[in-house]
Chains A and B, each alone.
Chain A
């Protein structure tokens, strides 16, 4: 790396500083002993984390977010698994348009997803609740799950499944005994990624939240109050830590999956 310093490498260094600037500042301000979020730094404190512990409204928002994220992760991984499997294994009419619709939320602005769901839910006369947020989140997480699971199903050696048929197993038993264990790392990776996306999603949650806010919706409401900012930094730091652990786990399982099916890969989650 350091053997020769080229303009490209200097650029990469500046780029990484730019990319990581907010992520590095977040914990710095979370531990800063000052009620104002600005430089110069004043000293070290864990006071702001203590404030989080005492804020009741935050706890219920966190609970809502976790319920939504867990449900979203399970539902979108299930829906993603079905679609990824169908797309990788079978040829059927209307395959491309169908997959196109399912993958559409990846390029659709989130505000459009939020607005259109809001219109339908209000037209049908349903109340906004945690479930309406879950529906929106499943919609945007499923394409990510499919992207992760597709490579797992594509790399699957079909002769293993055929061997299981030949040895007398039923279709369902083959699926549970052979296919699922082989794509398990992909499934875990997909669960973790959709959990992380849902936990952090704001735009759709803001449109579809009823009286019960999620964590990002709660944070949005608090950003107006300057005195709350240091504790929000502490909250952001905790969320960053949670996301990091989940992502490292997801990456670990995705790579293990790639090794299991005997392929080398260089791609990320997307």
Chain B
């Protein structure tokens, strides 16, 4: 076989065609995502001297990011808020996913999922701002509670603190938690549920021993999809968080923009990403192990 023929055969092979088709998208993502992420990683080991970048490798930024109290506080608080948001969203989302999957006729399911995703597409900034209106001192919640005679003075613990951040972020991420759980519930073979019933399991035990374990992959996906990105939100903390509700992303933004210390910002960003990824991986691994053991 001549070299030319081999070349032609390869060009017409599955692999070559697939690689050829995917290459524009892949190159785009390499240039604008993989390389930039690499550069941020490199930047976190450099230092900023006023306008000049000093490219000698150093761990100084990480020493600051992990050593100084303000960054420790912000990181700890961000992880706590993200964890609370994740738990809240998954707990709120599960019954909804369950309801749509088990109590809605198949032909209406698509419409329900559409209904659940609509609020997610309304202007992100306006949505956060409206939570400020709802939770504020003269807001909807306080107004109605006073109107109903339940309280005399407006509640002040619901806005400009971490509770408000958790609630607003939770609201924003609900659809992302519902969808994976819904997909997992849809995949459950209903004959398994009938079998459990025939073997004398009550509805609660049947749910705990059959439905819940079988839907765990969806719960895991929801957890990761919500937990990782919430650490990166700096708009919600800024609008509804007040001084004690700021998160690590507000500091990252500050370092990259006003404080003009991009290397420290990069070190903070890399640290935050590494921490959330490690936590997510451990969580997924624990669940896999636990579910396999059953």
Q: Which residue of A lies closest to B224 (CB)?
A: A107
> Which residues of A are found within 8 Å of B125, using beta-carbon distances?
202, 216, 219-220, 223
Tell me if A267 counts as interface (CB < 8 A to partner B). Answer: yes
Tell me if A167 counts as interface (CB < 8 A to partner B). Answer: no
Q: How many Å from the CB of B126 to the closest CB on chain A?
A: 4
Asked if A107 and B269 make an inter-chain contact with CB atoms under 8 angstroms apart, the answer reads: no
Q: Which residue of A lies closest to B114 (CB)?
A: A251
Q: CB within 8 A of B126: which of A11, A79, A102, A219?
A: A219
Give how many A residues have a beta carbon under 8 Å from the other chain's beta carbons. Answer: 84
Tell me whether A243 and B121 are in contact in the complex, defined as CB-CB below 8 angstroms, given that A15-B92, A90-B15 are known contacts.
Answer: yes
Interface of A, secondary structure class, is: helix
The CA-CA distance from A12 to B266 in the complex, in Å, is: 42
Asked if A115 and B229 make an inter-chain contact with CB atoms under 8 angstroms apart, the answer reads: no
Residues 89-114 of chain A: 1 if any B CB is under 8 Å from the residue's CB, otherwise 0? 11111010010011011111111110
Asked if A267 and B113 make an inter-chain contact with CB atoms under 8 angstroms apart, the answer reads: yes
Tell me whether A18 and B22 are in contact in the complex, defined as CB-CB below 8 angstroms, given that A92-B14, A119-B262, A269-B117 are known contacts.
Answer: no
Tell me if A86 counts as interface (CB < 8 A to partner B). Answer: yes
Tell me if A62 counts as interface (CB < 8 A to partner B). Answer: no
The CA-CA distance from A20 to B21 in the complex, in Å, is: 41
Tell me if A232 counts as interface (CB < 8 A to partner B). Answer: yes
Residues 122-151 of chain B: 1 if any A CB is under 8 Å from the residue's CB, otherwise 0? 111111011101101011100100000000
Asked if B110 and A109 make an inter-chain contact with CB atoms under 8 angstroms apart, the answer reads: no
Tell me if B119 counts as interface (CB < 8 A to partner A). Answer: yes
- Residues facing B in A220-270 (CB within 8 A) are 220, 223, 232-233, 236, 239-240, 243-244, 247, 251, 255, 264-270
Asked if B18 and A92 make an inter-chain contact with CB atoms under 8 angstroms apart, the answer reads: yes
Q: Which residue of B lies closest to A268 (CB)?
A: B113
The CA-CA distance from A122 to B134 in the complex, in Å, is: 40
Asked if A109 and B228 make an inter-chain contact with CB atoms under 8 angstroms apart, the answer reads: yes
Q: CB within 8 A of A39: which of B15, B36, B99, B143?
A: B143
- Residues facing B in A13-33 (CB within 8 A) are 15-16, 18-23, 25-26, 29
Interface size class of B (residues with CB under 8 A): 35 or more
> Which residues of A are found within 8 Å of B36, using beta-carbon distances?
116-117, 119-120
Tell me if A212 counts as interface (CB < 8 A to partner B). Answer: no
The CA-CA distance from A101 to B262 in the complex, in Å, is: 25
Tell me if A67 counts as interface (CB < 8 A to partner B). Answer: no
Which segment of A52-60, A135-143, A157-165 sits at the interface? Answer: A135-143
Tell me if A196 counts as interface (CB < 8 A to partner B). Answer: yes
The CA-CA distance from A241 to B229 in the complex, in Å, is: 27
Which segment of B1-9, B37-45, B63-71, B193-201 sits at the interface? Answer: B37-45
Tell me if A87 counts as interface (CB < 8 A to partner B). Answer: yes
Q: CB within 8 A of A38: which of B34, B106, B139?
A: B139
Q: CB within 8 A of A223: which of B129, B179, B269?
A: B129
Tell me if B157 counts as interface (CB < 8 A to partner A). Answer: no
Q: How many Å from the CB of A66 to the closest CB on chain B?
A: 15
Q: Which residue of B lies closest to A36 (CB)?
A: B138
Tell me whether A22 and B119 are in contact in the complex, defined as CB-CB below 8 angstroms, given that A111-B269, A115-B265 are known contacts.
Answer: yes
Q: How many Å from the CB of B245 to the closest CB on chain A?
A: 17
Asked if B95 and A20 make an inter-chain contact with CB atoms under 8 angstroms apart, the answer reads: no
B residues lining the A interface (CB < 8 Å): 14-19, 21-22, 24-26, 28-30, 32-37, 39-40, 43, 92, 95-96, 98-99, 103, 106, 109-110, 113-119, 121-127, 129-131, 133-134, 136, 138-140, 143, 171, 174-176, 179, 183, 186, 224-225, 228-235, 239, 249, 252-253, 256, 262, 265-266, 269, 273
18 contacts between A and B (CB under 8 A): A9-B99, A23-B122, A25-B133, A38-B136, A82-B21, A86-B18, A87-B18, A89-B18, A98-B26, A102-B29, A109-B273, A138-B28, A142-B28, A219-B125, A223-B239, A251-B114, A266-B113, A267-B183
